Structure 1
Amino acid sequence: MTAIPFPPATDGFDTDGFDTDVAVIGAGPVGLTLANLLGQQGVATVVLEAGAELIDYPRAVGVDDEALRVMQTIGLVHEVLPHTIPDQKIYMINGERTIIGEVDPRMREFGWPRRNGFVQPLVDRVLLDGLDRFACVQVRFGSEAVDTVQDAEGVTVAVAGGPAVRARYVVAADGGSSPTRKRLGIPFTGETRENRGLVIDVRNDPIGTPHAVFGGDPDRGYGTIALPHGIRRWEFELFPHEDEALVEDDAFVFGLLANHTPDPAGLDIIRRRVYTHHARIAERFREGRILLAGDAAHVMPVVGGQGWNSGIRDAVNLGWKLASVVRGHAGPELLDTYESERMIHVTQIVAVSLSMANEMTDTDRERARARDEAAARRTPEEQAQVRDQRFKPQPAYDGGVVLRTPAPEFKTLPARVVDRAAGTLFPQPAVRSAGGDERLLDDATGQGWRILAWNNDPAAFLSPASLVAAESVGARLVQVVPAVQQSWAGEHCAPSTVVVGDLGALQAWFDARPTGAVILRPDHVIAAECLAQELDETLRQVFALAGLGDREPVGAGPVSAG
């Protein structure tokens, strides 16, 4: 089930005076994911990494369904999956080991398990190796970016001990202490938690159970997580009076583990590390031709498991926009929508993560008792909300490249209250592809812009001008029909239309809504929803929001990343 790549680049800018189209500072997961997305679209990219190699110790331990869909988008999900534990359950317990909450979502709304344990260094390696597919992408280790100077045309990145890199745009994915963000003088507002976390990772898991446990023990909060390949993590709260040097004190570390495993001294410890937990967001994500992504733009407590995933969301939101601008399909104002769309969701995610961290590490016994009593009073519906992880905000963009229209009010349509879907992620069920095999939707349709209609051929509703505009950005026309109709529809649709056979999930999705067509962005967000007869005008308005379809390509071809 290999993902169909984005359409290859066919145009670009004049190459004079530039070393690359995009310079990415930092070869962490966000920078590497963004480089894969840009490489798919033929955008010349240079990744500058200060270290001599990838960081090889585990950091993040949870990957969600949205991030796995991005791994699918870049064609690497099947290389990532062997380093995951799908559907990993979380038990939240109190100081007496009583379960006060279970997180165990089993839905596949976006095609993948909602919660997965994973080993980050091995997934980062997959992302790095994936760049070998793209001649237009280069990674330079041992290249510390020490300054960024921008002008009206581009950015010059000064590199310690090496030649400067001249790029049209720069993305700083250089971590929570981002030197780039600091040089730009962008405030990083929020808070730093007083108590730090001591992380211990071991090989040859001495427990062997597959789940994760978060212990809300007022004596000392902790977490323990089973990871792939026999690795287990513990994290213990460190109090303000406890010195960071205790991380190297065997007696202290083994004392922390004494109630967790039979023989702490016999553990095969991979690393011990103290973390300071922050909840901070950059005041802005863009400064001219320089953009912030991942931890450089926002950091959050680890309890919610959303730091790594939020960075991947940044990359997939920014990737298609940068490519559109660099390839001359859109103006630079499109990049403003990166911040306006991501800022609201990141703020929600940081708040949820901070709330969870505060709740599970509270040392006040009265508040801990009140928490436990409130958990015991949860209704079945409230328990289901926790189990299905519905407390995690889903991306829902109100502005940017999202067209929100009133629900149609024609007599043909039942009157009902329904949440409009524009600005949210489109689901990804399994469908029958044009070749007759069963695939996830994105693989069956191909990536990039998609104009998708239930039961109708979208080409029948688009004007010649709209068809040309759609073709200019590589948009795919998709007709969804019940699988039993697929052969007939395939023989009667326009040559450019992809017909997929629905196995029930998409019919149910459209049944719940008063619209029969959607326009999907390359990051799988619904840019607009409409009736079939409104499709032409709706597409025109969406492309106008993005500044697409009415620009002349700039230059003769993309810059080589040599």
Structure 2
Amino acid sequence: MVVGAGPCGALIANLLGVYGVPTLIIDKNKGIIPYPRAVGVDDESLRALQAAGLADRAHSDMIQNQLLRYFDSTGRPLIDVAPSDRPFGWPRRNSFIQPMLEEVLREGFNRFPHVEFRNETELVAYSEDDRVTATLRSSDGREETITVDYIVGADGGSSTVRQLAGIELVGSTLAARWLVIDIKNSGIHAPYAGNYISSKRPYVSIDLSYGYRRFEFRLNADETVEQATQPEFVSRLISERFRWNNQLDISGAPRVYSHHSRVAEKFRAGRIFLAGDAAHLQPPWFGQGMNSGIRDAANIAWKLAAVTRGEATDSLLDTYEVERRGHATEMVKLATTLGRIYSPKSTMGEKARSVFFRTLRHFPQARDYVTKMKFKPMPRYLEGVVAGLNGTVQNRKRPNPIGRMLIQPDVELTDGTRMKLDEALGDRFALVGLRMDPRSALDKNELAFWEGLGARFVQINRSRIAKPDIAAADGLLVLDDVEGGFRDWEAAWKYRVLFVRPDRYLAGATLPENTNAISHMLQMTIGVGH
């Protein structure tokens, strides 16, 4: 059972639907919450939505490749962040309207007869034994007791699941409060997300789809919530900075938020798991709060599916916290640090930051570190469902790809059909051979294990090789490296056999002669189901 139908919980339910797992998802609200929330989606999240079969539909409502521009308090531009590469097959920066994404996710439930969604339903108690007995309460006060295998709490920062599990959310809440407003029909031509650094009142203006615009203003200590949410107050803040003379058309009610930097002390307690804001809260300055929750969803869903299908042991689920908690903590720390940069405490500090950003323009490596978002901590799993890292050389300029998300170039089937890599790999493990059949490197026992997991065996050939060389054996999918992505990847790493997880992280990569050893290590981690 999944508790909470926001983006994280709804994606978990959709992924479990794809994996064929009977799932109940509940949400205490009647409908989708209308007030301002997340506005940024990255390429990793779009890839997770792709796994759920919803990326194209969701992406069609987004502003793609959105520019992020930093300004000083006088409105002068400092530096632009505009990464253009697509290592995972999608634009790296996209703005969106959260209720629209949630509509797509909830409509996705209708594809699966084994996924049930109940709104106006909340979890009020549970007990654990061999399974979980949960008490649910509907909006009319009626209670019902059900039994489920696991509960995933994706029910937000004030998570009921976390409280019932007795898990503490550790960290701090910043003193500053921020007013957040979404307006419709803005008419402002500023086609970017703008962060305005100021010691007096830092603020944010973000271009959204279909004429919407997000504004965020830091409130002063003497400004009350009641005062700040009045239309006159909001109008004054906007008109003073954007020459705004039109009548405000506010979408939902203005909200005042405090920024939290907190991480749950653990992500698992028995058969209970936490994900998304229930597990970690961060300031919005890097646009990674929801995206961190999406990473949780992609990680936990395939593991729950493997265990409930009897293909893996329960110990596989321990790797969820091992893999996700450390990276979530990194993202919280980065967002907190960026908040300090955006909100200098003095005019002198503001000027220093302006000089810093302008100076970056003259140093290509430092400039690219910011403008191409190289400072973003990418998930790297050193423990968990990974193998083959011991003894590998770690290079700062070119970090080993094992434990990281695999690239996603376009590939072609032998009939010429072109598609993104993941569409060819399917929704389970994939064993990929570069210019070889990966099965040829496995002994009988190891091959049987991967067949039992329903893994797909894939050979990726150099693009446009001679036709006789691409004949496929039974049970082998042959792909053409039409964009040359794996040509360059193999040249950099020399690996020929790749173990690709359902969430598209590289569980292992090796040369043919070491394939059985890596396979066996992964088998021990995944476990043998019953």
Fold-level similarity (TM above 0.5): yes
> Post-superposition shift, 1:189?
0.9
Structure 2: distance between partners of 1:391 and 1:95: 24
- Counterpart amino acid of 2:403? G
Structure 2: distance between partners of 1:146 and 1:268: 38
Q: 1:408 to 1:371 in 2, by over 3 A?
A: closer
Q: 3-state DSSP class of the match of 1:533?
A: helix
Structure 2: distance between partners of 1:524 and 1:118: 24
Mark the runs of 5 or more structure 2 residues left unpaired by the alignment: none
Q: With structure 2 as the length reference, what TM-score do the two structures score? A: 0.95
Instruction: Tell me the residue number matched to 1:135.
Output: 113
Structure 1: distance between partners of 2:468 and 2:98: 46
Q: 1:73 to 1:486 in 2, by over 3 A?
A: farther
> Post-superposition shift, 1:370?
1.6
- Counterpart amino acid of 2:46? L
Structure 1: distance between partners of 2:174 and 2:498: 43
Matched-pair contact (CA < 8 Å) for 2:171–2:261: yes
Instruction: Tell me the residue number matched to 2:201.
Output: 220
Is 1:348 equivalent to 2:335 in the alignment?
Answer: no
Instruction: Tell me the residue number matched to 2:384.
Output: 400
Instruction: Tell me the residue number matched to 2:417.
Output: 437
Structure 1: distance between partners of 2:25 and 2:58: 21
Structure 2: distance between partners of 1:420 and 1:89: 29
Q: 1:106 to 1:416 in 2, by over 3 A?
A: closer
> Post-superposition shift, 1:527?
0.5
Deviates more, 1:304-313 or 1:377-386: 377-386
Q: 1:198 to 1:408 in 2, by over 3 A?
A: closer
Is 1:382 equivalent to 2:382 in the alignment?
Answer: no
Is 1:233 equivalent to 2:214 in the alignment?
Answer: yes
Instruction: Tell me the residue number matched to 2:76.
Output: 98
- Counterpart amino acid of 2:115? V
Q: 3-state DSSP class of the match of 2:460?
A: strand
Structure 2: distance between partners of 1:179 and 1:53: 18
Counterparts of 1:156-195 in structure 2, within 5 Å, are 156-160=134-138, 161-195=142-176
> Post-superposition shift, 1:42?
1.2
Q: With structure 1 as the length reference, what TM-score do the two structures score? A: 0.90
Deviates more, 1:186-195 or 1:292-301: 186-195
Instruction: Tell me the residue number matched to 1:532.
Output: 512
Q: 3-state DSSP class of the match of 1:542?
A: helix
Structure 2: distance between partners of 1:444 and 1:71: 16
Is 1:502 equivalent to 2:484 in the alignment?
Answer: no
> Post-superposition shift, 1:33?
0.2
- Counterpart amino acid of 2:340? N
Deviates more, 1:124-133 or 1:359-368: 359-368
Structure 1: distance between partners of 2:245 and 2:121: 40
> Post-superposition shift, 1:315?
0.3
Mark the runs of 5 or more structure 1 residues left unpaired by the alignment: 1-22, 410-414, 553-562
Q: 1:423 to 1:450 in 2, by over 3 A?
A: same
Q: Write the deviation string for residues 122-180 of structure 1: whole angstroms up to 9, x where unpaired.
A: 11111111111111100001101112222233342433523122111000000011122
Equivalent residue in structure 2 for 1:73, among 45, 51, 58: 51
Instruction: Tell me the residue number matched to 1:331.
Output: 313
Q: 1:416 to 1:269 in 2, by over 3 A?
A: closer
Q: 3-state DSSP class of the match of 1:113?
A: coil
Matched-pair contact (CA < 8 Å) for 2:4–2:153: yes
Q: Write the deviation string for residues 377-404 of structure 1: whole angstroms up to 9, x where unpaired.
A: 2222111111111111001011011113
Equivalent residue in structure 2 for 1:47, among 6, 10, 25: 25
Q: 1:516 to 1:178 in 2, by over 3 A?
A: same
Instruction: Tell me the residue number matched to 1:15.
Output: none
Equivalent residue in structure 2 for 1:302, among 275, 284, 303: 284
Instruction: Tell me the residue number matched to 1:276.
Output: 258
Matched-pair contact (CA < 8 Å) for 2:165–2:272: no
Instruction: Tell me the residue number matched to 1:555.
Output: none
- Counterpart amino acid of 1:278? H
Is 1:262 equivalent to 2:262 in the alignment?
Answer: no
Q: 3-state DSSP class of the match of 2:170?
A: strand
Instruction: Tell me the residue number matched to 1:449.
Output: 429
Instruction: Tell me the residue number matched to 2:90.
Output: 112
Structure 2: distance between partners of 1:417 and 1:311: 28
Structure 2: distance between partners of 1:416 and 1:185: 40
> Post-superposition shift, 1:359?
0.9
> Post-superposition shift, 1:534?
1.7
- Counterpart amino acid of 1:313? R
Structure 1: distance between partners of 2:415 and 2:289: 38
Count of matched residue pairs:
522
Structure 1: distance between partners of 2:49 and 2:197: 33
Q: 3-state DSSP class of the match of 1:174?
A: coil
Structure 2: distance between partners of 1:435 and 1:132: 32
Instruction: Tell me the residue number matched to 1:26.
Output: 4
Structure 1: distance between partners of 2:398 and 2:341: 34
Deviates more, 1:336-345 or 1:48-57: 48-57
> Post-superposition shift, 1:277?
1.0
Matched-pair contact (CA < 8 Å) for 1:49–1:143: yes
Alpha carbon RMSD of aligned pairs, Å?
A: 1.8
Percent of paired sites with the same residue: 36
- Counterpart amino acid of 1:250? P
> Post-superposition shift, 1:406?
4.5
Q: 1:165 to 1:101 in 2, by over 3 A?
A: farther
Deviates more, 1:58-67 or 1:442-451: 442-451
Q: 1:416 to 1:461 in 2, by over 3 A?
A: farther
Q: 1:300 to 1:405 in 2, by over 3 A?
A: closer
Matched-pair contact (CA < 8 Å) for 1:38–1:319: yes
Instruction: Tell me the residue number matched to 1:511.
Output: 491
Structure 2: distance between partners of 1:42 and 1:157: 25
Higher RCO (C-alpha 8 Å, min separation 6)? 1
Q: Write the deviation string for residues 41-70 of structure 1: whole angstroms up to 9, x where unpaired.
A: 111100111111122344110000000001
Q: Write the deviation string for residues 459-487 of structure 1: whole angstroms up to 9, x where unpaired.
A: 21222222221121111111111121274
Structure 2: distance between partners of 1:254 and 1:384: 37
Structure 1: distance between partners of 2:415 and 2:239: 57
Q: 3-state DSSP class of the match of 2:121?
A: coil
Instruction: Tell me the residue number matched to 2:227.
Output: 246
Matched-pair contact (CA < 8 Å) for 2:382–2:389: no
Q: 1:163 to 1:487 in 2, by over 3 A?
A: farther
